Amino acid sequence: MQRLLSTVTLLGLLIGTSAAFAVTEKLKLEKSPITGTRVSAAFSPTCGCARDKANISVRFRRKDTATVTVLTAGRKPVRTVVAGIPVPRGRAVFRWDGRADSGELAPDGTYRVQIHLARAHRTILLPNPVVLDTETPTILPVPNRTVFSPDGDHQADSVTVHFTLSEPAHVLVFLGDRLLIRSRSHAQKGTITWNGKTDAHVLPPGTVTLSIGAVDLAGNAIPPAERARLRLTIRYITLASGRIAAAAGKRFQIGVSTDARRYGWLLGGRHGYAHGPVLKLRAPDRPGRYALTVTEHGHSDRATVIVR
């Protein structure tokens, strides 16, 4: 009798194990009731931008009744986004505003989304994490020069700014309210280069101030008042003095500040080309006042030569 009971018990265990195994294998072979999952990688409820909510987009294979819950990284419930609502077959989008069930803003961190389907008797943890991030990035920009000549004739035609960010973000460069550059990369360290142009037009000589900001992957942007400021001087060609005294028929010289490989000069009906930081010329033979003009790539500067 004892042997018979043991045999029956063993057969029961084997049958139960086989049934459980069959159910498990069936679940493995059965397609998930959810497909095409797309979840916002990062968002900021405080950014005041299009990324102020996390989008949870899934496609249901058949209609069901769904409950969508946001969990902490430790799988603790934070917010029930929807509870027991009918969902049709096809794509549905749910949105989380970053708040807990208490109504308070959830702490910054990484969260997961869980979907329970009542009819399918399935609870699915989506593989896509979502990062809630409300911190604004900070940036430290360092230019390689503060004076440059955007005339397309020299390596100093642009300004390269080396930057360091507090977190991955896209660098933004503004001239006034105009956005000049948005970096493609969101690397925390790198460089950006400005060629001195706006809308393909070269700016005139003078001083300009760029403001350097950033926007992180969650949409948090450095406020305009907190952007870094870079004061730059655009200079094409400049004479060292606006007035020169020279003896008639004698040679004189004047300093020329330019990055051009060569530049043109015009004085008293004579003209020519020169290069280098010092322009040496012979004064006209007759006393009087003459205009000296130096030109490079359409940019020029003038000085008065007084010949005695």
Domains (range + CATH), the chain: 31-132 (2.60.40.4070), 139-234 (2.60.40.10), 237-307 (2.60.40.10)
Residue type, 93: V
User: In this predicted structure, what is the pLDDT of residue 10?
Assistant: 43
Surface-to-core class of residue 67, CB atoms within 10 Å of its CB (0-12 exposed, 13-18 middle, 19+ buried): middle
Model confidence over 79-116: pLDDT tens digits? 999 999 999 999 999 999 999 999 999 999 999 999 99
Question: Which pairing describes strands 77-87 and 64-72: parallel, antiparallel, or unpaired?
Answer: antiparallel
Q: What is the pLDDT of residue 13?
A: 45
CA distance 248 to 269: 15
Contact criterion met (CB below 8 Å) for 246 and 252:
yes
Nearest to 235 by CA among 146, 167, 305: 146
Q: Determine the pLDDT at residue 210.
A: 97
Length of the chain: 308
Band of pLDDT at residue 298, cut at 50, 70 and 90: confident
